[in-house]
A = this chain, B = another copy of it.
């Protein structure tokens, strides 16, 4: 199951297939996001601490924070390479970085993510170092460069204005049984019209995952404009009499 010769960095090649591209002939950002998650999944399973191993131990990884900085999105038909590595492991969190390069080797994007390990029965955090003999520590890559700022606490100054409400359905939910992390991003980006994207591109997106949501949940999207090019989006789910915060996101356009 484990291979001591494996490098800490995993490399996975994908392609910007035409029907995963938007009107600007570039890969949908949320699709790139899902390929980052797929790369993380492949990387961790190959190194013996992925969900395929952990599910037998009733544990799973949960994405807690995600920051993506984009220089250019892969163009239609272009292949691109995702590199991913774990750059630090704490007791309850690991930090995993990504870089995305185009076919000429030019960097398209960098991303940072923070993951918690939870017990699938209790949904409580688990000490990462005690699971599977601390297997994850064998592959930490401290020195590889990821020159983007980590996501902060995302403090919003106001509640924002409700702009949309979307009910979660079958196709929003992935294998984990809750709404897919990148589906939130997809619904968030839907708050802007195509005409906006023909003149602006997402330069940076920061997401804090606060609570899970499920099929049937109604999600309300509250938007606050920080500056002309930075918008904060708060996703709340309607639960009984009060609304519960699910996701907080900050999008910077260029």
Contacts and interface: CB of A to CB of B under 8 A. Distances in A.
Interface string A127-165: 000000000000000000000000000000000000000
A174 B215 contact: no
Contact of A76 (B37, B175, B187): B175
A37 B171 CA distance: 19
**Count of chain copies:** 2
B18 A41 contact: yes
Interface residues of A, number: 36
B19 A174 contact: yes
A193 to B, nearest CB: 7
B175 A193 contact: no
B19 A41 contact: yes
A173 to B, nearest CB: 6
A171 B30 contact: yes
Given A21-B174, A22-B173, A194-B215, 8 more contacts: A18-B175, A20-B38, A22-B175, A23-B175, A76-B175, A169-B190, A171-B190, A193-B215
25 contacts: A18-B38, A18-B41, A18-B51, A19-B34, A19-B35, A19-B41, A19-B180, A19-B182, A20-B38, A21-B175, A22-B170, A22-B174, A22-B175, A23-B174, A23-B175, A25-B175, A28-B171, A30-B171, A76-B175, A170-B190, A170-B192, A170-B194, A170-B197, A171-B186, A193-B215
